Each structure stands twice: as C-alpha cells, then as structure tokens.
Amino acid sequence: MSMKKKDIILVLLVVLSVITFLDRTCITFASLEIKADLGIDQSGWGWVMSIFTLSYGLMQIPLGALGDKVGHRWVLALIVVWWSVFTGLTGMAGGLLSMLAIRFCFGIGEAGASPCSTSVISRWFEKDRVGKAQGFVWAATRLGGAAAPFIVIPLVASQGWRFSFWLLGAIGIVWAVAWIIIYRDKGGSKLAAAKEKRSIPWREIASHRQFWIICGMYFFYAFGSWFFFTWFPEYMKQGRGFGADELKYAVAIPFLMSMAGNIAGGVLTDRLTKRYGVKTGRKALGTLSLSVSAVCMVLAAFIPGKTAVFIFLSLCFGIFDLMLPSAWALCIDLGRRYAGFVSGAMNTFGNLGGFCCSLMFGYLLKETGNYNLPLYMIAAMLLLSAALFAFINPAKPIVNEEQ
C-alpha cells in the first residue's frame, strides 16, 4: 500500500509538471500572432517573456517555505488554481500593459510548483530514490514542452490564440481538484501537520557558502535553459527559417531529448551516488554535462543552416538537462528537512537568470537583428554554471540535521 501511495503521488506530480510547462510555453508558440494582434515589438515582447520569470523567481522562496511550514495539500492546490485562472486571463489581454500584469500574476502562482514538488518527494521517497523521482518530474516538464507545439499551433490556427489559454486554464483547475481529493500530507493527522510547522533557520542557511554556490550555479544554468522556454520557437522560425509544419518537430524533438536527459540523469545520479558517493554522483555528472552543452551551443550558433542547428540545439538541451535531477536532489542532500526552502531559493536565482536571458535576447535582437549572437552569450553562462557546480560539496548539509 505504501509503494502504491508513492506511485500515485509521483503520477500526480508528473501530470502537474506537464500542465505547468504547457501553460508556461503556450505563449511562445503563439508569439507572432499575439505580437501582431496586440501591437507589441521585440523589446516589448522581451519584457512579456521576462516579467513572468521575474515574479516566478521572486516567489520561489516564500511559496517553498510555506509548503514546508504548513504542508502541501492545500498550498499546492491553491497555487495551481491561482495560475490556472491567470492562464485563462492571458487569453483576455488587450495590450502590452495588461499582458504584463497578467503574466506577472501568472508567474506568482507557478513559482510554488517546483519547490513544493521537491518537498513532497523529500517526504515520501527514500534518499536513494529521490534523484530518479526528480528525473521523472522534470522529464514531464519537457514532455509538456514537446507536446505544446502539437497542441498550441493547431489550436491557434483553428480557434485563435486566446482560446488555447482558456482551455489550458481549465485543465489546471481539474488537476487541483484531483490533488485535494487524493493527496494527504504525510502522517495524515493534525499532530503530524503540527510537526511540519517549524521555523526556517534563515540565518544559518544564508550564511552557508554552499547555499550561495548552488544558487549561483543555477542562475547561470537557467540563463541557458530559459532560451528554450521563451525565444526558441521564434529563433527556429525567424532566425533559421523553419516553416510551421517543420517547427512542430524542430521544437518538440529537442524537448524530447531534454526529457530523455532528465530521466537518464535521474537514474545516473542515483546509481553513481550509490556506487561512488554524492560527490561523484551529483557534482561530477553536473559539471561534465554543462561543459559539453556549452560546446554544443557554440556550434549551433556558428554553423549555418537548419540541420546543424537542429542537431546541436537538440544535443545541448538533452545534455545539460542530465544535470537537472542532480541539482534538485542536491537541495534535498544539502537542505534536508528544509529542501523546499533551499530549492525555492535555488530556483529564485535560476529564474533571475532566465529573466536576464529573456530580456537581453530581446534587446540584442532589436539592436542587431542577429538571432545567433545571443547563443554565444548563453554558452558562456553554461560554462560558468559548470565551474560553480564543481565547487559544490553535497556531503556537507547546509542545515544541521539535529535541528
């Protein structure tokens, strides 16, 4: 029964991850139609892409801490309802200002998904299974990204861009209802819930060197990953000349590569950790994959044509996401019972990196008209992430376990 309960919880988190990225990436596949309809230029669209990332990043810590403090049954359900409402409202935007306000509020809700999911995993799964569980959850986000072009592009063509947001918003509400019905915070009693209510040792965490290294590492990693979540479809269409039918596969396959990378990375990090210890199992895998992906990003920018960019960006996305389960498992290794707070902080810095990437990409594009130039910048950020990953010591928890 215990294993069955864990499997049900993991399935719910996997489905949530698919919904999360469908809602998040929907706007990228309708970008040209939305910009034309609402009269938004490239720099303005950079703000639309980045404003979500800003609020998403800023709310990671408070929502992760809230889940740790009071439990995840109602916290996770309420934040899914919140962002689903604003997903629907995106389809009612009338101009740049209203779109900015809606996407900012949308980001507030989505911010709680990853840290709360991480905390749920830390409570329900043994230490030697958390990497694999994280791998499936993060692979599901990429499945959402891969499915998005096949869902959104035909929907936009047949029903208009607004309808796709209304439909996706409704799906999120259904998930929230299912979560409330099925999930119970571990322990299932008021006494257990009371034990979950603990103060966060902010000062101890913030004074630890490992905490800042992991946050910096994720800032530079996310600077690269958010290219795929924001500008990637337009880059392939406008920068490399992929047609609408080609675009579905040109975008979906890199996301599928990323999904495979997450699953493989989750299995690898647990196996390597079990055999060689957490230093090899977590940080060696992360450092190597980030370094190789930076090379792929440079090659994608440098070599002209459709085939080369498709191959190297697919490899880049798949290889650097080998490290993602390791990074989130590190939050459990280092944060222990405060994994929600630590993962929320890490993801806050990651999304600040994504904010910078989305914004700088738009301004570089407006000033130069060169779609390849930002890719060199992204490659440099991935190398910095690899360097910082090498300095993480997952054998030293941030918080004293006796607290």
DSSP 201: -
E strands present in 135-254? none
Q: Say if residues 46 and 362 touch (Cβ distance below 8 Å).
A: yes
- The packing angle between helices 73-90 and 96-110, to 10°, is 160
Is 234 in a helix, a strand, or coil? Answer: helix
- Report the alpha-carbon distance of residue 177 to residue 216 in Å, rounded: 36
Neighbours of 85 (CB within 10 A): 16
Neighbours of 181 (CB within 10 A): 8
Is 185 in a helix, a strand, or coil? Answer: coil
Q: Say if residues 254 and 234 touch (Cβ distance below 8 Å).
A: no
pLDDT digits (tens, 9 = 90+) for 11-20: 888 888 888 8
pLDDT digits (tens, 9 = 90+) for 129-152: 777 787 788 788 788 888 888 888
Residue 402 confidence (pLDDT): 52
Residue 220 confidence (pLDDT): 94
- Look up residue 122 and give its amino acid: S
188: pLDDT strictly greater than 50: no
pLDDT digits (tens, 9 = 90+) for 156-170: 888 888 888 888 889
Residue 11 confidence (pLDDT): 85
> How far apart are the two ends of the chain, measured CA to CA in Å?
31
191: pLDDT strictly greater than 70: no
Q: Region 53-58: what's the mean pLDDT?
A: 80
- Report the alpha-carbon distance of residue 102 to residue 91 in Å, rounded: 10
Neighbours of 338 (CB within 10 A): 28
Residue 298 confidence (pLDDT): 94
pTM score > 0.95 for this model?
A: no
